[in-house]
């Protein structure tokens, strides 16, 4: 594949014909083509409102806190997290001036030579993923150079006795910390590290991240499940709680997506092993609804009936992997969860319908699944669902200075937080749901878990 310099207008991406299985504008009834275009414009305007506030109140910092109107830097000094995470969304929305300004900031100000311990997983999905995707969209070689520098500085994280990465690595010294981690953090690195190998020709990144994924899978229980806590030095599980929620979620996502992105058969085999047992032990039905709860990884015994905002990514993965019926049913349940209070809670007991954690962190997962289902089924229902969610998203989370998380979806009390994934994911998936399908050649890319599209090597 040729990765020569291209203008940032995504020429190669948007000329690819959309396969007939995907939605066409004329197939819509619930939201017609005209309304979809209007909705895409509204999403773009709302994105810009949040972006302008970030620009005026926190430019150059990791995040804007929208209620106090103050910047926040994760590690006491900025790694430009919001600019890096948002850049490909700016490009996809056609916001050329804003994208150019942001790219210039990154090109001239970003340095990873910092004496700070960063979280390998978060920096990989947000920063490495963001830089690689923006490089593929723009052809700006400085972005690839930054990604390569970052990749090198993250590599020491994998120097454990098991090959499972430590949670934290110091970007300057290469020292590591945090032996206690989880499958999401050990197993959701290969899309980014593998793409870095593909673009630089240096195998080491792919090999280290693949080994971490394989070592995670290898430690599954006799019945085939993984827990949500593991020690990278001993390789022993420190928590046997098994689910598809935070701490495990993107591990499953990457098994399937690494097959799709790289055509890696080991990943396909690991996915095939896993999805059968996930469906067997974690799927649950309550009042005729499909949910995925928690079970013990060794016995498969149900331990809790909770599901939440993070779990709502799973319909997207099920649909992408061809399980459309399950995907549809689970999405219906997620949408019920959303509608209980007009915005989804972080955690819900799906049997009693009692909220166990009432916060809403402006998470994207339910929107992501709505977008996948729309693209893969073509059913207008999903654009209607998206319209309804976007309306309440604006109603409850918009402030005069950007979007604010909710302390409680019940009282709608706000929280002083707007994480970078709001720009990378939440607005991007809303936009792509309503924008013409040709905005992004869905069949030619794979999104990392932070919604950064990476170009596929193989398409099948």
Give catalytic residue positions.
122, 249, 346, 365
The answer to the question of residue 338 lying near ligand DMJ (CB under 6 A) is: no
Q: Shortest distance, CB of residue 84 to ligand DMJ, whole angstroms?
A: 13
What binding mask, one character per residue, do residues 99-118 give for ligand DMJ by CB under 6 A, x or -?
--------------------
CA-angle at 224, arms to 222 and 229, nearest 5°: 95
Closest CA to 271 of 415, 279, 148: 279
Q: Which of 437, 460, 345 is nearest to 17 (CA)?
A: 437
Question: Which residue, 390 or 421, has its beta carbon nearer to ligand DMJ?
Answer: 421
CA neighbours closer than 13 Å in the CB half-sphere of residue 376: 19
Cβ nearer to ligand DMJ, comparing 36 with 432: 432
- Which CB, 221 or 334, lies closer to ligand DMJ? 334
Give the Cα separation of 381 and 29 in Å (integer): 8
On whether the CB atoms of residues 451 and 429 are closer than 8 A, the answer is: yes
Closest CA to 99 of 58, 66, 143, 57: 143
Decide: is 427 part of the binding site for ligand DMJ (CB under 6 A): no
Q: Which is nearer to ligand DMJ, 44 or 126 (CB)?
A: 126
Q: How far is the CB of 37 from ligand DMJ (least distance, A)?
A: 27
Q: Rule CB under 6 A: is residue 82 a binding residue for ligand DMJ?
A: no
Report d(CA 433, CA 419) in Å as an integer: 21
Q: Is 167 in the site for ligand DMJ (CB under 6 A)?
A: no
Residue 228 touches ligand DMJ, criterion: CB under 6 A = no
For residue 24, the minimal CB distance to ligand DMJ (Å) is 29
* Residues 380 and 29 sit within 8 Å (Cβ to Cβ): yes
Alpha carbon distances (Å) from 223 to 54, 199, 219: 48, 38, 11
Q: Rule CB under 6 A: choose which of 262, 292, 421, 434 binds ligand DMJ.
A: 421
Neighbours of 395 (CB within 10 A): 11
**Eight-class DSSP state of 360:** B
Using CB under 6 A, pick the residue from 82, 120, 242, 449 that binds ligand DMJ. 449
Going by C-alpha positions, the residue among 107, 106, 95, 103 that lies closest to residue 51 is: 95
Cα–Cα–Cα angle for 121, 122, 124, nearest 5°? Answer: 65
**Interface with ligand DMJ, residue 133, by CB under 6 A:** no
- Residue among 435, 458, 433 at smallest CA distance from 445: 458
Pick the closer one to ligand DMJ by CB: 8 or 75. 75
> Is 245 near ligand DMJ (CB under 6 A)?
no
Report the site for ligand DMJ in 355-414 (rule: CB under 6 A).
363-365
Judged by beta carbon, residue 120 or residue 221, the one nearer ligand DMJ is 120
- How far apart are CB 74 and ligand DMJ at their closest, in Å? 12
The distance of closest approach from Cβ of residue 18 to ligand DMJ in the complex, given in angstroms and rounded to an integer, is 25
Q: Is 242 in the site for ligand DMJ (CB under 6 A)?
A: no
3-class SS at 337? helix
How far does CA 335 lie from the centroid of its chain? 19
Torsion of CA 36, 41, 45, 47, to 10 degrees: 60
Q: Which of 62, 88, 311, 450 binds ligand DMJ (CB under 6 A)?
A: 450
Name the minimum Å distance from CB 419 to ligand DMJ.
Answer: 7
DSSP 25: G
182 binds ligand DMJ (CB under 6 A): no
When the beta carbons of 23 and 189 are compared against ligand DMJ, the nearer one is 189
Answer yes or no whether residue 250 interacts with ligand DMJ by CB under 6 A: yes
The conformation of residue 229, written as its DSSP 8-state character, comes to E
**Closest approach of ligand DMJ to the CB of residue 139, in Å:** 26
Question: CA 346, CA 84: separation in Å to the nearest integer?
Answer: 26
Q: Which single residue brings its beta carbon nearest to ligand DMJ?
A: 449
Contacts to ligand DMJ by CB under 6 A: 125, 250, 363-365, 421, 425, 449-450
């Amino acid at each position: 594949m040729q990765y020569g310099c291209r203008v940032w207008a995504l020429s190669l991406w948007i000329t690819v014909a959309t396969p007939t299985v995907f939605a066409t504008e004329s197939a819509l009834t619930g939201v017609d083509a005209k309304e979809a275009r209007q909705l895409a414009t509204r999403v773009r305007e709302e994105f810009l409102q949040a972006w302008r506030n970030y620009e005026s109140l926190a430019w150059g910092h990791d995040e804007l806190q929208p209620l106090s109107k103050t910047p926040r830097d994760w590690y006491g000094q900025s790694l430009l997290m919001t600019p890096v995470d948002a850049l490909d969304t700016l490009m996809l929305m056609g916001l050329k001036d804003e994208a150019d300004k942001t790219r210039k900031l990154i090109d001239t100000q970003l340095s990873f030579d910092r004496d700070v311990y960063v979280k390998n997983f978060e920096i990989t999905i947000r920063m490495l993923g963001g830089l690689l995707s923006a490089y593929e969209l723009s052809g700006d070689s400085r972005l690839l150079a930054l990604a390569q520098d970052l990749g090198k500085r993250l590599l020491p994280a994998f120097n454990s006795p098991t090959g499972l990465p430590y949670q934290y690595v110091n970007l300057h010294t290469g020292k590591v910390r945090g032996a206690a981690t989880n499958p999401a953090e050990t197993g959701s690195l290969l899309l980014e590290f593998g793409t870095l190998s593909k673009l630089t020709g240096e195998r080491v990144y792919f090999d280290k991240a693949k080994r971490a994924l394989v070592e995670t899978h290898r430690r599954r229980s006799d019945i085939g499940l993984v827990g949500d806590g593991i020690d990278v030095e001993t390789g022993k599980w420190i928590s046997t709680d098994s689910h598809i929620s935070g701490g495990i979620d993107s591990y499953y996502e990457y098994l399937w997506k690494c097959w799709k992105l790289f055509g890696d058969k080991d990943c396909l085999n690991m996915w095939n092993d896993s999805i059968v047992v996930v469906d067997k032990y974690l799927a649950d039905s309550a009042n005729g609804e499909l949910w995925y709860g928690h079970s013990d990884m060794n016995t498969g015994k149900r331990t809790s009936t909770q599901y939440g905002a993070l779990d709502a990514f799973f319909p997207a993965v099920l649909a992408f992997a061809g399980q459309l019926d399950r995907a549809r049913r689970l999405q219906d349940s997620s949408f019920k969860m959303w509608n209980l209070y007009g915005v989804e809670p972080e955690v819900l007991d799906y049997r009693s319908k009692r909220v166990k954690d009432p916060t809403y962190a402006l998470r994207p997962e339910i929107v992501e699944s709505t977008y996948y289902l729309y693209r893969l089924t073509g059913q207008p229902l999903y654009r209607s669902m998206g319209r309804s969610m976007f309306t309440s998203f604006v109603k409850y989370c918009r402030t005069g200075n950007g979007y604010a998380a909710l302390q409680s979806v019940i009282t709608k009390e706000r929280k002083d937080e707007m994480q970078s994934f709001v720009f990378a994911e939440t607005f991007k998936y809303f936009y792509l749901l309503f924008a013409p399908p040709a905005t992004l050649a869905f069949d030619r890319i794979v999104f990392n878990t932070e919604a950064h599209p990476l170009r596929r090597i193989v398409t099948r």
